[in-house]
Amino acid sequence: MFCRKLPKYLVTLARSYHRTGSKQSLQASIAKVPDNLVKALAGIVGDKNVSTAMAVREQHGRDESYHDCAPPEVVAFAESVEHVSEVLKLCNDAEVPLIPFGSGTGLEGGVNAIRGGVCLDVSKMTNIISVHPEDFDCTVECGVTRNTLNNYLRDTGLWFPIDPGADASLCGMCATSASGTNAVRYGTMRENVMNLEVVLADGRVINTAGKDRRTKKTSAGYNLTNLFVGSEGTLGIITKATLRLHGIPEDTISAVCNFQDVQSAVDTTVQVLQCGIQIARIEFLDEVSVDACNKYSKLDMKVAPSLFLEFTGSPNSLKDQTQLVGDLVKMNNGSDFRWASDIEERNHLWKARHDILYACMALRPGCKPYSTDVCVPISNLPEVIVRSKEEIQKAGVVGPIVGHVGDGNFHVFFPVDQSNPEEVKVVSEVARKMAVLALEFNGTCTGEHGIGMGKRKLLEQEIGEDGLDVMRQIKATFDPKGILNPGKVFF
């Protein structure tokens, strides 16, 4: 009855599921990691790097999202690519699930061990292997975080600009194809990764662009690098990344302005981009987010739909850019700019933007965040935001909207009372409707947070049955026994 190719733990799961037909039995039947495998793990990474303590397992069984904790059976800490390779061989031979763990800041339950198994934490692999300032690139091990890299680069005049709000590991950022407020100017992880060292399920180590290659361009065969970017730990473990660096701009100035309605703020954004202005950041906050930000970050902005902007370049170019953008703001009946020119003011403003999640949670103390993340072609953005806002209002829930609007990407951070199942249901239905709306408007159900556990159904809707089949075939090629982060991206 069951396909012979299924790994053992899946056969157990499937048998139990078919016997009782219940979801509970599916969860209860998660295979235990045998003691001899735990011993073998310790033989590879050392006793100090293996833990079966519940506190450690719980720490590794969840990320920063709303998904319930699903602890792995055991946590192993790798200190080298050899460790990663040996652990993968072991788990592959034993057909035990293996979940890579970077820094656990993901937002779609990517690290949750929903089918049990071994969590492999790579945060101890923290070497910055090389920096080539003249070539604008560097190579880092998987545990290096973005802030650590930028602190290290401080004296070179270079930086790595991709900035999810959290201080995530750079290879975790590769795995989720992260981006943030700087994407409008510098792109996402996809545009900024040149090569990856990846350990495959059977323990083989490959370099996606060839060993030590670090060119800006290549036409050599398939783009394996970008196959692993966004693969969420389901195709291999990324152990090193070669990344593009950028020059720190000569001058920077930030500003805030507000509008009478959402449409005018988003129209201004579209026009700024259409005029070819190389804006450094352009972030949208609706009036609910502005109110939350004022209270939490001690700002005194007018409570109205607003844009946070940043301009970079030479003093002359700053003058031209700010003049032109100021004119566009006026054309859309926006307010004057409130400038943040010195570094303290700028940092305060952007810290407020990055703290917005905490600000939104403070609107309803005791609540947990439930976040959405959709992205549409920029010309469709005004309508999709306006209609999402209508859905939020219809449902009668608190739903602040924040957007990387220059990329057509926006979020709602719902503060949710998780002890109230009805409320959770209402919020998840609004989030689902927003994703479906984005798909109807030629968009995607996730611009930057990934599929993880939360958006598996939506993925099929987005790319279609045949597209999903091809993804499954790719997965089977890289991971024939299905041990790598099972149950993520697809069911």
Ligand X SMILES: Cc1cc2c(cc1C)N(C[C@H](O)[C@H](O)[C@H](O)COP(=O)(O)OP(=O)(O)OC[C@H]1O[C@@H](n3cnc4c(N)ncnc43)[C@H](O)[C@@H]1O)c1[nH]c(=O)[nH]c(=O)c1N2
CB of 233 to ligand X, least distance (A): 3
Q: Which amino acid is at 374?
A: V
- Interaction of residue 357 with ligand LXCWX6NK, rule CB under 6 A: yes
57 binds, among ligand X, ligand LXCWX6NK, none (CB under 5 to 8 A by kind): none
- Interaction of residue 164 with ligand X, rule CB under 6 A: yes
Question: CB-wise, 65 or 103, nearer to ligand LXCWX6NK?
Answer: 65
Cα–Cα distances (Å) from 234 to 238, 318, 451, 452, 479, in that order, read 11, 44, 11, 10, 8
- Interaction of residue 241 with ligand LXCWX6NK, rule CB under 6 A: no
CB of 399 to ligand LXCWX6NK, least distance (A): 13
Sign of the Cα pseudo-torsion (430, 431, 436, 440, in order):
positive
Binding mask 398-417 for ligand LXCWX6NK (x = CB under 6 A): ----x--------x-x----
Q: Binding ligand X by CB under 6 A: which of 31, 144, 173, 280?
A: 173
* Half-sphere exposure in the Cβ direction for 272 (13 Å, CA): 31
141 alpha-carbon distance from chain centroid: 19
- Interaction of residue 283 with ligand X, rule CB under 6 A: no
Q: Burial level of 294, CB count in 10 A (0-12/13-18/19+)?
A: middle
Tell me how many residues contact ligand X (CB under 6 A): 37
Q: Binding ligand X by CB under 6 A: which of 41, 91, 98, 142?
A: 142
289 binds, among ligand X, ligand LXCWX6NK, none (CB under 5 to 8 A by kind): none
| Long-range contacts at 213-217 (CB < 8 A, ≥ 24 apart) | 214/132, 214/135, 214/137, 214/139, 214/242, 216/244
Q: Binding ligand LXCWX6NK by CB under 6 A: which of 369, 428, 436, 460?
A: 369
- Interaction of residue 399 with ligand X, rule CB under 6 A: no
- Interaction of residue 176 with ligand X, rule CB under 6 A: yes
171 binds, among ligand X, ligand LXCWX6NK, none (CB under 5 to 8 A by kind): ligand X
- Interaction of residue 454 with ligand X, rule CB under 6 A: no
Which is nearest to 308 in space by CA: 282, 347, 331? Answer: 282
Beta bridge partners of 159: 246
371 binds, among ligand LXCWX6NK, ligand X, none (CB under 5 to 8 A by kind): ligand LXCWX6NK
111 binds, among ligand LXCWX6NK, ligand X, none (CB under 5 to 8 A by kind): ligand X
232 binds, among ligand LXCWX6NK, ligand X, none (CB under 5 to 8 A by kind): ligand X
Which is nearest to 265 in space by CA: 444, 123, 386, 94? Answer: 386
45: Cβ contacts below 8 Å, ≥ 6 apart: 76, 77, 78, 79, 83, 87
Tell me how many residues contact ligand LXCWX6NK (CB under 6 A): 11
Q: Measured at the alpha carbon of residue 448, what is the angle toward residues 352 and 199, in degrees to the nearest 5?
A: 120
Q: Binding ligand X by CB under 6 A: which of 61, 161, 233, 403?
A: 233
- Are 187 and 108 in contact by the 8 Å Cβ rule? The answer is no
Q: Binding ligand X by CB under 6 A: which of 448, 459, 475, 487?
A: 448
Q: Binding ligand X by CB under 6 A: which of 75, 111, 292, 397?
A: 111
| Other residues' Cβ atoms within 10 Å of the Cβ of residue 39 | 11
To which H or E segment does residue 100 belong?
A: strand 98-101
- Interaction of residue 232 with ligand X, rule CB under 6 A: yes
Q: Binding ligand LXCWX6NK by CB under 6 A: which of 92, 371, 388, 485?
A: 371
Residue with tokens 């989720």: 176
Question: CB-wise, 104 or 116, nearer to ligand X?
Answer: 104
Q: Which amino acid is at 437?
A: L
CB of 91 to ligand LXCWX6NK, least distance (A): 30
Beta bridge partners of 240: 141, 197
Provide the pairing of β-strand 193-199 with 158-159.
unpaired
To which H or E segment does residue 470 belong?
A: helix 456-478
Which residues here bind ligand X, judged by CB under 6 A? 63-64, 99-107, 110-111, 122, 142, 164-166, 168-169, 171-173, 175-176, 178-180, 232-233, 237-238, 357, 448-449, 485, 488
